[in-house]
């Protein structure tokens, strides 16, 4: 099945509420635990979360790692508003900040120590822009963990994943999940994007039937 693009930015308030209200505890905590387990040099690190959405991953990371500083970037104003509220409520506003920007337009005064990103890449029309930003925003030797959905073989398989994984969720969330699966990349496509940007030293892995991850250090 060919990739079918979905809108890049999630800025419809109904969509934001459905996404922010969903239970991603297992996936998001698993992502944070994996990141902290992979790298042992995160002490005092400045970590960038590209496409941070409602801020759940930055908050979990701040809780798990007491000295790191996190900047979350998202192009959706309602997502950033939600994230700012959530981080204040969690009491981490001294170490977690958010910026409302397209990652393609971000420039930082100094490179960050690490980059994480979950479920952003399938939104991006040109994924090479994403990997280019990773290269330019990260210090040499900095670690990354990027996770996203895998595109199934056909629309029926996508619908089956939605029915299995999101039974009982609001219809808006189910529709967005379905369109996200159609917009996602295959493992081979991700490997080819990395190769085009000389990032082939990064590892691509498929941890389950619907996700790929990329991890390693960027030199
Ligand atoms: C599916 S959500 C994932 C949110 C979060 N990372 C998580 O795992 O819960 C994708 C997010 O990427 C944001 N996004 C899409 N394109 C973007 C871009 N070019 N720059 C910054 N954020 C973007 C969307 O607005 C949305 O909040």
For the chain, 219 residues long, give each residue's pLDDT as a single digit of tens.
999 999 999 999 999 999 999 999 999 999 999 999 999 999 999 999 999 999 999 999 999 999 999 999 999 999 999 999 999 999 999 999 999 999 999 999 999 999 999 999 999 999 999 999 999 999 999 999 999 999 999 999 999 999 999 999 999 999 999 999 999 999 999 999 999 999 999 999 999 999 999 999 999
Q: Which residues contact residue 109 at a Cβ distance below 8 angstroms, ignoring those fewer than 6 apart? A: none
Q: Is 42 helix (H, G, I), strand (E, B) or coil?
A: coil
For ligand 1, atom 18, the nearest C-alpha belongs to: 102
The SS3 call for residue 209 is coil
Cα 130 to chain centroid, rounded: 11
Can you give the residue ranges of every domain in the chain? 13-218
pLDDT at 183: 98
134 CA → ligand 1 middle, Å = 15
- Please give the pLDDT value at position 103: 98
Pocket of ligand 1 (CB under 6 A): 8-10, 24, 51-53, 56-57, 73-76, 79, 102-104, 118-120, 123-124
Give the pLDDT confidence of 67-76 residue by residue, as tens digits: 999 999 999 9
* DSSP letter assigned to residue 49: E
Listed in sequence order, the residues at least 6 apart from 183 whose beta carbon sits closer than 8 Å to its beta carbon are: 3, 4, 5, 6, 122, 123, 151
pLDDT of residue 5: 97
| 44 C-alpha to ligand 1 centroid (Å) | 25
Q: Given the DSSP bridges, would you call strands 203-208 and 211-218 parallel, antiparallel or unpaired?
A: antiparallel
User: Which of ligand 1's atoms lies nearest the C-alpha of 103?
Assistant: 20
120 CA distance to ligand 1 middle (Å) = 5
Pocket test for ligand 1, best of 51, 125, 130 (most atoms within 8 A of CB): 51
β-pair partners for 99: 73
> What is the number of the ligand 1 atom nearest to the C-alpha of 28?
8
Task: Of 148, 134, 147, 149, give the one whose Cα is nearest residue 217.
Answer: 134
Three-class SS of residue 179? helix
Q: What integer pLDDT is reported at residue 181 of this predicted model?
A: 98
How many Cα atoms within 13 Å fall on the side-chain side of residue 38? 20
The total number of residues shown for the chain amounts to 219
* CATH level 2 (architecture), domain 13-218: 3-Layer(aba) Sandwich (3.40)
Atom of ligand 1 at shortest range from CA of 79: 27
State how beta strands 114-118 and 142-149 pair: parallel
Ligand 1 pocket mutation, candidates 98, 120, 180, criterion most atoms within 8 A of CB: 120
b/e code 133-161 from CB counts within 10 Å (16+ = b):
bbbebbeeebbbbbbbbbbbeeeeebeeb
Which tokens is 100 given? Answer: 């409302």
CA of 116 to the centre of ligand 1 (A): 12
CA of 74 to the centre of ligand 1 (A): 6
């Amino acid at each position: 099945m060919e990739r079918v693009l979905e809108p890049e930015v999630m800025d419809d308030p109904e969509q934001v509420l459905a996404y922010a209200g969903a239970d991603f505890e297992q996936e998001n905590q698993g992502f944070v635990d994996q990141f902290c387990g992979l790298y042992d040099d995160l002490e005092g690190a400045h970590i960038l979360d590209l496409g941070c959405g409602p801020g759940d991953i930055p908050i979990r990371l701040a809780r798990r790692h007491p000295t790191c500083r996190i900047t979350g970037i998202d192009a959706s104003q309602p997502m950033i508003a939600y994230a700012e509220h959530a981080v204040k409520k969690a009491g981490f506003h001294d170490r977690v900040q958010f910026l409302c920007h397209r990652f393609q337009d971000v420039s930082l005064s100094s490179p960050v120590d690490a980059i994480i990103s979950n479920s952003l890449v399938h939104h991006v029309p040109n994924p090479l822009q994403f990997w280019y930003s990773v290269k330019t925003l990260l210090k040499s030797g900095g670690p990354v963990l990027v996770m996203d959905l895998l595109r199934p073989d056909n629309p029926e398989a996508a619908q089956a994943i939605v029915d299995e994984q999101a039974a009982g969720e609001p219809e808006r969330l189910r529709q967005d999940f379905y369109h996200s699966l159609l917009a996602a990349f295959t493992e081979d496509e991700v490997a080819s994007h990395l190769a085009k940007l000389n990032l082939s030293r990064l590892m691509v892995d498929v941890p389950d039937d619907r996700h790929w991850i990329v991890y390693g250090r960027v030199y």
